[in-house]
Structure 1
């Protein structure tokens, strides 16, 4: 009986640690995805759009199968520029969820990475408000590809959210209209060890970025240390 109690206690104590490690790995994977996309020599995200962005969201390894069976969702991470005018450094990352999407570039169970840029203050506030429906609560467009790509189209200039996907070696702008995003509060608790919303983490200044966010934040600081209009 004592052995059973001891085993149960070990399982209870190890569960939070396992959950934290899982979110740390997801955070590291998101950082690697962002690095790979940003450092594409010719076909990545235009750097001037990153300079103009208010927030960056990365969903690594989302699988179409997850959406076919039972409405599961992709999990990723968001970071935003801090400061009253979004002119400060990139924030500690918060875990974010993506739900109810239909992704045209996915084939079978092929994993797809998604990168989204939030392009203005109203978009950032909308994304952080609660659950936001892309294309309804926040205007969206497929992002242009290539460092020298012209971003001066009506759709891009008016969009609050620009999005890209990478699957089977193909990187392209993609529309995620109809999808919803929200703070993944369970994942945030697992990562930081306490109840926190994405808004608390990103704009509340209540937590320090974990070591697992090093790649993600270092890449953003390198490519876009300052916000430009």
Structure 2
């Protein structure tokens, strides 16, 4: 009788665990944006920053960068560790110094530095070290800021890099934007992971509209990396392509 009772309890626990896991998976699938949405949001973040060069990332810093991570709309109560989570994109320079194709990542951390009452913020990371960037892109495990690579809150403004030798000694320079305010932010302990599912989805999408989205993102980065002040700061950012419709998620047999 005791064996029967234990067996019943075990089956009940297993059923409850399975039932709770499936809603979590479905919720995660719904929260993960399509690659085109992440590209559009990242380009918008950078375009907005490029319109205020006196309060943006120093061009000299971007000109020497090995790669840039943009994580739009980092949300409190993230999925990797308690604190914050979001989805972003990495662009790395190739051997000729040109921006390569996008790689999509997940972001999580507990020290994003939210302002009081702010539920979401944009995060930008400037990778100055190639080894650190390659370690992230290899995707062999989680990449922790402050542990796998040193990170420091970055300066802002076209001439801000002149007196920041200590900060610029870090491998990664970090920024955030909340409610229109852009500033350096400490991100020690935050975690980055490549997202193989989203990267596979993007790799299979050969639409010319997607290629134009990627080109627009690269163009904004090129403009922000220019050390020559723009003739008309109000027109520094190129027009972005219209957002693409989100494709319907694949139907998985047996799942509601």
- TM-score of the pair, normalised by structure 2: 0.67
The answer to whether the 8 Å contact 1:115/1:163 transfers is yes
The Cα of 1:70 is off from its aligned counterpart by: 6.6
Flag the structure with larger Rg: 2
Q: Which runs of 5+ in 2 are unaligned?
A: 1-29, 228-256
Is this contact kept in 2: 1:99–1:181, CA < 8 A? yes
Show CA shifts across 1:162-210 (max 9, x none): 010000121110011101111111111222229xxxxxxxxxxxxxx73
Uncovered stretches (5+) of structure 1, i.e. residues with no partner = 1-17, 195-208
Counterpart check, 1:96 vs 2:112: no
2:193 matches 1:182? yes
Question: Any runs of at least 4 consecutive aligned residues in structure 1 with deviations exceeding 6 A, and if so which?
Answer: 18-21, 68-72
Alpha-carbon deviation of 1:109?
5.3
CA distance in 2 between counterparts of 1:168 and 1:72 reads 17
Q: Does the CA-based 8 Å contact 1:118-1:162 persist in structure 2?
A: yes
Tell me: CA distance 1:190–1:72, structure 2 relative to 1, closer, same or farther (3 Å). farther
| Residue 29 (1) aligns with residue 41 (2) | yes
Q: Does 1:120 align with 2:132?
A: no
- Count, aligned residues: 192
TM-score between both structures, scaled by the size of structure 1: 0.74
More off after superposition, 159-168 vs 119-128: 119-128
Deviations 1:87-142 (A, max 9, x none): 33100111111113322234445220011100022222232233211001101100
Larger RCO: 1 or 2 (CA < 8 Å, sep 6+): 1
What is the root-mean-square deviation of aligned Cα atoms in Å?
2.8
Partner of 1:212: 213
Q: Tell me if structure 2 keeps the 8 A contact 1:142–1:164.
A: yes
